[in-house]
Amino acid sequence: MEATGARRAPVPRPRRALFVDRDGTLNPDLHYLRDAERLELFRGVGEALHFAREHGELVVCVTNQSGIERGLYTTDDVERIHRRLNELLGPFDARVDAFYYCPHAPERGCRCRKPGTELFERARDELHLDLPSSSFVGDRLVDVEAGRRLGVATAVVRTPGHEALVDRELADAGVRADLTADSFRAAVGRLLAWG
């Protein structure tokens, strides 16, 4: 029984999130990147994430990193890459607020590997996110499928050099993102009505 006059801890108000994929979306996909010094951001990513955070979005990166289970790199390598990513975003007064990654190979059949939604649900619970008002930007079919399962707005970036692959993946699966853009900056701008 609650004592008279006792104060309850305030319940955090749910926040909107801009979920983002990592490789191929924020930075070039170097296939099993291990060395943080090789990380580069796509042009416009810093400005776009600054804009998102200025407009109340919590930036949450959700990424598949099967190279961990395959023995190609370690969780420490992934953590270094994420620290480096935020260092590169620093000059833009931008950052990724939280990183969630699946370390499993696809054959494991886990729920945390996209298009599974376990990592998004964990982020929702830990960060007090409002999924219906959130969105997700990625560059592959699994990103769009995960976003659709969650009921968030989805944007797919047609990374230069991979447009045909992305178009074919989506067409073969009969899946469409809510919007398609040729850059991360354009995707975020359209999702958040950037002027």
pLDDT tens per residue, range 108-135: 889 999 999 999 999 999 999 999 999 9
Burial annotation 85-98 (CB, 10 A radius, 16+ → b, else e): beebbeebebbbbb
Quote the CA–CA distance of 59 and 19 in Å, as a whole number.
6
Strands 98-102 and 58-64: parallel
What pLDDT shows up at residue 11? 64
**Top CATH class, 17-191:** alpha beta
Give the model confidence (pLDDT) of 141-179 as tens digits: 999 999 999 999 999 999 878 888 889 999 999 999 999
143 classed as catalytic? no
Say how far apart CA 13 and CA 15 lie, in whole Å. Answer: 6
Q: CA–CA separation, 120 vs 19, rounded Å?
A: 8
**Is the pTM higher than 0.85?**
yes
User: Is-contact 182 139, C-beta < 8 A?
Assistant: no
What string of DSSP letters covers 61-111?
A: EEEE-TTTTTTSS-HHHHHHHHHHHHHHHGGGT---SEEEEE---GGG--S
Least confident stretch, 2-6, 63-67, 132-136: 2-6
Calpha distance 59→81 (Å, rounded):
16
Q: Is 21 a catalytic residue?
A: yes
Is a pLDDT exceeding 80 seen at residue 60? yes
Calculate what percentage of the chain has a pLDDT beyond 90: 84
CA distance 176 to 148: 9
Q: Which of 21, 77, 139, 143 is catalytic?
A: 21
Number of C-beta neighbours around residue 184 at 10 A: 29
Spatial distance between the Cα atoms of 46 and 182, rounded to a whole number of angstroms: 16
Show the tokens assigned to 9.
């801890």
Name the band, by pLDDT with cuts 50, 70 and 90, for residue 195: very low
Q: What would the mean pLDDT of 165-194 be, rounded to a whole number? A: 92
